Structure 1
Amino acid sequence: MNDPFAELPALPIVIPLGVIVFVLLCWRLRATGRFSIPRAAVAAALAVYAAGIVANTVFPIFLDPPALAGPWWSGVVLTPFADYEVEDALTNVIVFLPLGILIPLLMRRPGWWKVLLAVVGTSLGIELTQLAAQDLAGGGHIADINDLIFNTIGGLVGSGLLVLFARIPGCDRIVHRFSWSERDGAAAAGSGDVPAGLSGSGGS
């Protein structure tokens, strides 16, 4: 008799995913002649973050799930703030806060609107993946517009914190060491300015 609660193991999938993300990001750094240990650390942080997000938002996936009791849209919540717990909202904000920090560091020409698009795109991709996993592979999560809203807020808060940190005298040099911005890190560090695009002006 099949076990309806048997799950597809997450680690054999998310660990290689993290390794692939890290290798691709380091290859990009090498290809552009901007490889450094601090920038590789940002790549490693994003790789671990991506693996963790997939492990916690896509899994569990059940190997022998029961048949769906309703249509595909039964697994979608499209009404904002309806029966949504404060704890869930805070969790989503906190979970996406690191992404709001990492995205501007990874961009060669960061700007707040680019960060917004990247955060919304990432969150929307997660919700659609959850919907597909639920409908096709026995996923255990529901696609929820509230998650999209509070994920976006978390990403913007993280980006704002990075901007504020970069404005602290002396801390701008730390940000420049980790930033993948087009601006040369050494020259920028000597200027005392925040990284290009992190000043809140929106970069192009």
Structure 2
Amino acid sequence: MNFQTQIPTAAVLGPALVVFALVALSRRRRSIPGWHGGPLALRAVTALYGTAVASLTFFPLWIYGGIYRNQVPWTGQIQPIPLITADISMLPNVIMFIPLGFLLPLLSRRYNTCGRTVVTCALISLGIELTQLLQYIAFTTGRAVDVNDLIANTVGGLAGYAVLRAAQRADATGAALNRLSSTPGV
């Protein structure tokens, strides 16, 4: 059977944001710590950021079958050698992960060190690349898996962490970030 269909971004990410909003509202009403004021705003910003990243990396999801299915083997979609094709196109991947490196330490004390934050950013990036590979294998979406994306995303996470620490050293921004954070003083 020959077919091509699209799962639109809003069909998946819209309901995910609604579920987040309902959970946040429920936790706020029950006065659960971390779900009021600044920490709630921080969680909402993080949910929107995560939705934006998912939108850029996974959607819209095209599904092809029959004659429309890509015949290129999935192994041809992997670029395993770092920096051979490195160029300015890596910059958007760096930029995409700066907010993650910035937000993680504000969300949890678990990420109060640079190493932990950067490793988490690298693991999230690896998860994105593996999901894109699985999408290609299952649906032949045409997304490539590139080790350069992993490197660029990790560098972006490191840059975000550095920006956060610089902002926390300044009195005015440090105080504002402490009001937002669910882990004040981190």
TM-score, normalization by structure 2: 0.86
Deviation for aligned residue 1:61: 2.0
8 Å Cα contact 1:134-1:140 kept in structure 2: yes
Deviations 1:13-57 (A, max 9, x none): 012223344555677786852332111111111111111111110
Correspondence for 2:46: 46
Q: Distance in 1 between matches of 2:84 and 2:24?
A: 39
Correspondence for 2:92: 91
8 Å Cα contact 1:92-1:147 kept in structure 2: yes
The residue correspondences of 1:1-204 to structure 2 (distance < 5 A) are 4=4, 6-21=5-20, 33-65=33-65, 66-86=68-88, 88-109=89-110, 110-181=112-183, 185=184, 195-196=185-186
Deviation for aligned residue 1:139: 2.1
The residue type paired with residue 115 of structure 1 is T
Structure 1 or 2: more helix by fraction: 2
Structure 1 or 2: more strand by fraction: 2
8 Å Cα contact 2:63-2:141 kept in structure 1: no
8 Å Cα contact 1:128-1:143 kept in structure 2: yes
Bigger mean CA deviation after superposition, 21-30 or 165-174: 21-30
Gaps of at least 5 residues in structure 2 are none
8 Å Cα contact 2:9-2:59 kept in structure 1: yes
CA distance change for structure 1 residues 104 and 14 in 2, over 3 Å: closer, same or farther?
same
Q: Distance in 2 between matches of 1:28 and 1:116?
A: 29
Deviations 1:150-189 (A, max 9, x none): 00000110110010000012221111111121xxx4xxxx
Q: Distance in 2 between matches of 1:56 and 1:83?
A: 21
Q: Distance in 2 between matches of 1:160 and 1:102?
A: 11
TM-score, normalization by structure 1: 0.79
8 Å Cα contact 2:101-2:157 kept in structure 1: yes
Cα-Cα RMSD:
2.4
Deviation for aligned residue 1:10: 1.4
The residue type paired with residue 36 of structure 1 is H
Q: Distance in 1 between matches of 2:92 and 2:16?
A: 24
CA distance change for structure 1 residues 74 and 172 in 2, over 3 Å: closer, same or farther?
same
The residue type paired with residue 158 of structure 2 is L
The residue type paired with residue 95 of structure 2 is I
8 Å Cα contact 1:22-1:43 kept in structure 2: no
8 Å Cα contact 2:34-2:40 kept in structure 1: no
**3-state SS of 1:63 partner:** strand
Q: Distance in 1 between matches of 2:50 and 2:161?
A: 17
CA distance change for structure 1 residues 163 and 175 in 2, over 3 Å: closer, same or farther?
same
Q: Which has the higher contact order (CA 8 A, sep 6+)?
A: 2
CA distance change for structure 1 residues 113 and 24 in 2, over 3 Å: closer, same or farther?
farther
Bigger mean CA deviation after superposition, 7-16 or 91-100: 7-16
8 Å Cα contact 1:99-1:155 kept in structure 2: yes
Could you tell me the percent identity over the aligned residues?
Answer: 31
